[in-house]
A = this chain, B = another copy of it.
Amino acid sequence: MARMHLVPPERAEHRTIDGHRVCEAIAAIGDPARVRTWAERFSLLADPGRLALLLALHRAGPLAVGDLAVATGMRDPAVSQALRLLRTAGVVAGDRDGRVVRYRVVDQELGALLAPCVAAGHVEPEPAVGRPRA
């Protein structure tokens, strides 16, 4: 945390307000690829449809595609496509039982991110931040 001349040479000549903090910030960001990976991870939860599917699977256990469609009000293809995305990402897995495929959450790390979402169900924190200048 001491010596950080991590500033890319390209930007080294830019004038900075708090140079040392810029270095700390760069250290905090770390590998851009890692940041992008996490952004993709979060983007999986950024869609109401997928989030609803994950919440349903997380708390109601293995569910079939059609049932998920009924529960979420989505169309079958939409559910299927969303699940395919989540499956590709390694978040869910499907178990075939005859002609029924039941999906379940397998990525515990991402499942843990669902916890605060569920916990905050009863309380609605103030989204209305006082706009100084609307």
Contact = CB atoms under 8 A, between A and B. Distances in A.
Give the number of times this chain occurs in the complex, counting copies.
Answer: 2
Contacts of A22: 60, 63, 67, 70-71
Given A34-B121, A34-B123, A39-B47, A21 B67 contact: yes
A38 B18 contact: no
A125 B112 CA distance: 15
B64 A17 contact: yes
A93 B105 CA distance: 36
A68 B125 CA distance: 28
Given A73-B8, A100-B17, A132-B8, A30 B66 contact: no
A55 interface: yes
A21 B60 contact: yes
A55 B42 contact: no
